[in-house]
Amino acid sequence: MKTVLSGIRSTGHLHLGNYFGALRNFIELQHKARCFFFIADLHSLTTHPKPEDNRSNIKIILSEYLASGLDPDISVLFIQSSVPEVSELFVLLNMLAYKGELERTASFKDKIRKNPGNINAGLLTYPVLMASDILIHRAHWVPVGKDQEQHLEIARVLARRFNNMYGVSVFPEPQAYNFGEDLVKIPGLDGTGKMGKSEGNGIYLIDDEKTIRKKVMRAVTDSGPVKPNSPMGPEIANLFTLLSVVSEPDVVTHFKEQYNSCTIRYGDLKKQLAADICKHTLPIKAKIEEIYNNEPYLKQVMEQGAEKARTSARQTLELVREAMGVKLF
């Protein structure tokens, strides 16, 4: 049976990128494989959140996972920091990760460009911690969005290097997984880049109908196609990407035809897009609050998840210690 693992940082509410990039793919798999899903609270520390924000974010994200359909009786649902074995594997794998290859990681370069005042070692070794998350459960498939492709490559390099260096086959090489075929990149509503937590361009699972409509109606567009079959500018292409994720195929075809024949009214497209986003998110939103307020349940889910995750993690760590000779008796 395949093992699946994925996680999301605890840096704020989940947005459509997190949901369609990682979470929904994971939920599709939870009945078919051995599944782990976690809150990457240690990774979040690289940006120095206030302790109280970090704590409340964990509770928010956990409620949002559960409301989205993660079943804690089928999947192992846990907080990264409650499985100390991950941190131990992180230390051990750091011995196999080279400074040069970590410095070349696109996410590291991006972080140091955006935050020159906080280039901490945790940012540099971020992919090694991520590899530890994946390899500690010897995962085969990792549902993630396109932005995590390079991190997955590093996890594969470390798995391969470990197996070769110690002449073992402890780790499978984990593959990024998407339920369709290609990994998805959900664009933001500002006409540029991807939807992100800090970019202010996102729609969150917690947003109400009015907010979603307002955000979508404000999305950047252009002045419209001037001749039939003209190429789409990036803002319009982004709206179509979102539409293709949340709407039925015939809806997408309908608006594409209108675009190609220059009869499209962006206002109509946006109204449809907002309505279709709501179809996915509002049922989740309705459950978030109820779960969030049920602290005993959340606590029980976390304890149960940590225990199961630690059992799995300990087994891997035994093999790793054995292979590296970090075990006297």
Residues with a known catalytic role: 111, 194, 197
Between 8 and 239, name the residue whose CB sits nearer to ligand TYM.
8
**Distance set, CA 302 to CA 29, 39, 78, 292, 306 (Å):** 21, 10, 6, 13, 6
Between 5 and 58, name the residue whose CB sits nearer to ligand TYM.
5
Contacts of 294 (CB under 8 A, 6+ apart): none
Per-residue DSSP letter, 73: T
- Name which of residues 102 to 141 contact ligand TYM (CB under 6 A): 130, 133-134
Residue in the block written with tokens 């409301």: 67
- Name which of residues 20 to 79 contact ligand TYM (CB under 6 A): 21-22, 40, 43
Between 157 and 260, name the residue whose CB sits nearer to ligand TYM.
157
Residue in the block written with tokens 């992100």: 196
- For ligand TYM (CB under 6 A), the number of binding residues is 26
- Our finding on whether 185 is near ligand TYM (CB under 6 A) is yes
Interface region with ligand TYM, contact rule CB under 6 A, candidates 145-153, 165-173, 222-230, 272-280: 145-153
Contacts of 27 (CB under 8 A, 6+ apart): 68, 69, 70
Q: Measure the CA–CA gap between 309 and 313, rounded to whole angstroms.
A: 6
Q: Measure the CA–CA gap between 217 and 211, rounded to whole angstroms.
A: 10
Applying CB under 6 A, among 35, 83, 195, 291 the residue interacting with ligand TYM is 195
Least separation in angstroms between residue 40's CB and ligand TYM is 4
Q: Measure the CA–CA gap between 60 and 54, rounded to whole angstroms.
A: 10
**Per DSSP, what are the bridge partners of residue 187?**
194
Applying CB under 6 A, among 24, 138, 194, 270 the residue interacting with ligand TYM is 194
Binding residues vs ligand TYM (CB under 6 A): 5-9, 17-18, 21-22, 40, 43, 130, 133-134, 142, 144-145, 147-148, 151, 184-186, 194-196
